Amino acid sequence: MPFHSLGLDASLVRAATEKGYLAPTAIQREAIPPILQGRDLLGAAETGSGKTAAFSLPLLQRVAGQSPTAPRRLQALVLVPTRELAAQVGESMRSLARLLPRPLKIAVAFGGVSINPQLMALRGGADIAIATPGRLLDLVEHRALKLGSVATLVLDEADRLFDLGFADELGRILALLPERRQNLLFSATFPAAIQSLAESLLHDPVRVEVEAGAVEEPAILQRAIAVDAGRRTQLLRHLVKTGGWTRVLVFVATKFAAEIVADKLRKAGIDAEPFHGELSQGKRSQVLADFKAERVQVVVATDLAARGIDVARLPAVVNYDLPRSPVDYLHRIGRTGRAGESGVALSFVPPASEAHFRLIEKRQGLNVPRERLAGFEPVEAPEVAADLAPVPGTGGIKGKRPSKKDKLRAAAVAAAAAER
Ligand code: AMP
C-alpha cells in the first residue's frame, strides 16, 4: 500500500519518500487515516515501529490545513519523556514538514539546558511544540507558550513519562489544555497507571497494536555469549574488531562503567565514546551526531541516556551488562534492526548472571542459545555448581555446602574480578 492512499497530501508523501519511507509501516497504515479524521487513538507500539511518522504526518496535515491568514497559535503539543526523544521527534517532524506549502514553526523544548534560547525561539509563537513536561511548564510560566488553543495532544512513550516521575507535571499540563481536543497516546507497555490515564484521557479511541518484534520481519537476531564477567571488555574488543560492524551501541549498568569501558576500547585503538546522563547536553549531542555520521564506531551508554536514541541502520547492540528488567531488554534490542533493517543484539551472560538472563527469556517468551566463543569460554564456576565449588582464597572445601558468609565472599571476589 503506498503512502498517498492513506489520505495524505502530496507534499507530505514526497517528503516521506525523500526520507526513504517508500511504503508505510504497519502502525502508519492503521493510525494515519483515523488521526486524519480527528479520532482519538491508543497506540501500543515501541520505538522502531515507525510511530513518530504515524502521528507526525497526519498532525502536520491537520495543522497545515489551517487558514494561512490566521495568526500563529499553538495547535499541537507532543509530550515526550526525554530530551533525546524531543530532539529526535522534532528533527523527524521538521524534515516531514519541509515541503508543505505553508511553512510551520515547530518548537522543541527540553530541560537540562538554558531556557533562554528556547524563550527566544518561541517569540512569535509556534504551531507545534514538542517538549518534556517540566520544561513545558517553565515556558508556560514565562508566558512564552499558551496552551489554550491546542487541538491535538500527543503523549509519546507514555509509560516512560510515568517511570521518569512526570505524572504531576502531566496533570498540571492537562488542566491547562482546552477540554475539546484530539488525544493520541502511545506506549510500549500498559501498567495500571497508563490504563487509567488512557481511560480518562481518550474518547472512543481507535486502538492500534503493533506486536513487539513482529513489526518488520526479519528484524533482530538475538544472541547470547557465555563469558566470564572479567573478560567482557576483551570479548567486546574482539567482536568489534572482527564483527564487521560499522557501529555498535553497548549498554552498561552505570555511568562509571560507560566511562571505563569506552576508555579501554579507546586504548585498544577503537573509536569509542561514553554516553550517559552526567555528560553536558553539548557533549551528548556531539556524541550522537558523531555516531550518526559514523565518526564514532562504538557508543557505550547507560539505559536512561540511550532511550529513544534512533540511529538509522544500527547493525549491532551489545548488552555488556544485562538490563535490570525484561522490558528494558526489549527497549535496548529495539535500537537495532530498525524499520525492517536486520541487526544483531548480543548479550554477554557471565555465569553469575545466568539466572537473571533466564528470567528475561522467560518473561519475553524467548529461548536464546548460549554460545561459547573459542578463547573466551567461561571458567568461573557456573551458578548452580558455585554452591559446591571452592571459593578462591577463602579456604572453601569442595563438597561442603558453603555458608552464607562463603557465598558473600564469593560474590565479592567475582565483583573484584569483574572490575579488573
Ligand atoms: P520510530 O518508531 O518512529 O522511532 O521509527 C523508527 C525508524 O524507522 C526511524 O529510523 C524512522 O526514520 C524509520 N521509519 C519510519 N517510518 C518508515 C517507513 N515508512 N519506511 C522506512 N523507514 C521508516
Is the distance from the beta carbon of residue 343 to the nearest atom of ligand 1 less than 6 Å?
Answer: no
Q: How far apart are the C-alpha atoms of 414 and 380, rounded to whole Å? A: 8
Mean pLDDT of 264-292: 92
CATH 3.10.450.30 assigned to domain 3-214? The reply is no
Q: Which residue has the higher pLDDT, 186 or 219?
A: 186
Report pLDDT digits (tens) over 360-373: 998 877 888 899 99
Distance 34 CA to ligand 1 centre (A): 19
Distance 100 CA to ligand 1 centre (A): 20
Q: How far apart are the C-alpha atoms of 108 and 130, rounded to whole Å? A: 5
Q: Which residue among 13, 47, 80, 310 has the greatest number of ligand 1 atoms within 8 angstroms of its CB, and so is best to mutate? A: 310
163 — pLDDT class (breaks 50, 70, 90):
confident
Q: Whose C-alpha lies nearest to ligand 1, atom 5?
A: 50
As to burial, measured by CB atoms within 10 angstroms (0-12 exposed, 13-18 middle, 19+ buried), residue 419 is exposed
Residues of the chain with pLDDT > 70: what percent?
A: 85
Is this model's pTM higher than 0.75 or not?
A: no
Roughly what angle, to the nearest 10 degrees, separates helices 51-64 and 83-97?
50
Q: Is the pLDDT of residue 329 over 90?
A: no
CATH 3.40.50.300 assigned to domain 219-385? The reply is yes
332 with 338: CB under 8 angstroms?
Answer: no
Residues of the chain with CATH 3.40.50.300: 3-214, 219-385
Q: Is the pLDDT of residue 173 over 50?
A: yes
Q: Is the pLDDT of residue 304 over 90?
A: no
Number of the ligand 1 atom closest to the C-alpha atom of 47: 2
Distance 393 CA to ligand 1 centre (A): 54
Q: Is the pLDDT of residue 392 over 70?
A: no
At 214 the pLDDT is 41
At 155 the pLDDT is 98
23 with 3: CB under 8 angstroms?
Answer: yes
Mean pLDDT of 128-156: 97
Q: Which residue has the higher pLDDT, 395 or 162?
A: 162
Report pLDDT digits (tens) over 22-69: 788 889 999 999 999 999 999 998 777 899 999 999 999 999 987 777
Judged by average pLDDT, the poorest of 49-63, 276-290, 291-305, 337-351 is: 337-351
Judged by average pLDDT, the poorest of 48-62, 195-209, 263-277, 294-308 is: 294-308
Q: Which residue has the higher pLDDT, 17 or 254?
A: 254
Q: How far apart are the C-alpha atoms of 163 and 199, rounded to whole Å? A: 19
Is the distance from the beta carbon of residue 339 to the nearest atom of ligand 1 less than 6 Å?
Answer: yes
Judged by average pLDDT, the poorest of 66-80, 95-109, 391-405 is: 391-405
Is the distance from the beta carbon of residue 48 to the nearest atom of ligand 1 less than 6 Å?
Answer: yes
Angle at 335 between CA 332 and CA 340, to 5 degrees: 130
340 — pLDDT class (breaks 50, 70, 90):
low
At 395 the pLDDT is 33
Q: Is the pLDDT of residue 401 over 70?
A: no
At 412 the pLDDT is 54
At 341 the pLDDT is 63
Q: How far apart are the C-alpha atoms of 331 and 211, rounded to whole Å? A: 13
Distance 94 CA to ligand 1 centre (A): 14
384 — pLDDT class (breaks 50, 70, 90):
very low
Q: Which residue among 17, 21, 157, 160 has the greatest number of ligand 1 atoms within 8 angstroms of its CB, and so is best to mutate? A: 21
Going edge to edge, which strands form the sheet with 316-319? 272-275, 298-301, 248-251, 316-319, 343-349, 220-226, 370-371
245 — pLDDT class (breaks 50, 70, 90):
confident
Distance 49 CA to ligand 1 centre (A): 7
Q: How many residues in the chain?
A: 420
281 — pLDDT class (breaks 50, 70, 90):
confident
Is the distance from the beta carbon of residue 300 to the nearest atom of ligand 1 less than 6 Å?
Answer: no
Distance 224 CA to ligand 1 centre (A): 27
At 365 the pLDDT is 78
Instruction: Please count the other Cβ atoms lying within 10 Å of the Cβ belonging to residue 374.
Output: 5
| Mean pLDDT, rounded, of the chain | 86
Q: Is the pLDDT of residue 402 over 80?
A: no
Mean pLDDT of 218-232: 86
